Amino acid sequence: MKKTVYRLILKLIGWKITGNKTLSKDTIKKAVIITVPHTHWLDFYLGILIRGSIGFKSNYLAKKELFIFPLNIILRWTGGVPVDRKSSNNLVKQIVNIFNSKDEFRLSLAPEGTRKKVEKLKSGFYYIALESKVPIFLMTLDFKNKKTLISEPFYPSGNKESDFNYIESYFHGVIGKVKEYSFYKKN
């Protein structure tokens, strides 16, 4: 029932999901999902609709200071996971520990780290996937064509330069809600 509602909303706004439409959810229970470009606060809500229409569970990170009543209820309900960004513990290690402690865990991240224009993606997602031994799914938010393209699972090789060349090429030129903040791979 819920999936139908999410799909109907996406259809009403003219949004399509292409590529790996199931996110391999029946066979892959742990993954890092990166979504690019992240240019507007509406991206979060679009992500919720996409997640709901496919019918998979995923989480996202939020600073632990946000997890106070009543906001904590909404954050947890939508998949928020509190993290200590100021801790001496490395954030990547915190997330790897979460992956290792769960049978099923998918983490959605915006690797730009901001809604502004960036020339390079941050690498935390890569090390989380590499150290957790989980695949990365690449997901676009293409506002120009009103579609999301989801990749097949990509397993990081440990050769960061080669892997990032592939990842950044996948997202190159995809137009976000705020066109001027869209991601273009730097040559």
Q: Kindly report, residue by residue over 7-52, the tens digit of the pLDDT.
A: 999 999 999 999 999 988 889 999 999 999 988 989 989 999 999 9
Query: How far from chain centre, in Å, is Cα 10?
Result: 18
Fold held by 2-179: Rossmann fold (3.40.50)
* Sequence-separated (6 or more) residues with CB below 8 Å from residue 137: 20, 23, 24, 31, 32, 33, 34, 150, 151, 153, 154
Q: Kindly report, residue by residue over 74-91, the tens digit of the pLDDT.
A: 999 889 988 887 764 588
CA distance 152 to 175: 21
Domain limits of the chain?
Answer: 2-179
Instruction: State yes or no: pLDDT of 97 exceeds 60.
Output: yes
CA distance 135 to 172: 20
Q: Which residues pair with 16 in a beta bridge?
A: 147
Reported pTM: 0.90
Report phi then psi at 33, rounded to 5: -115, 120
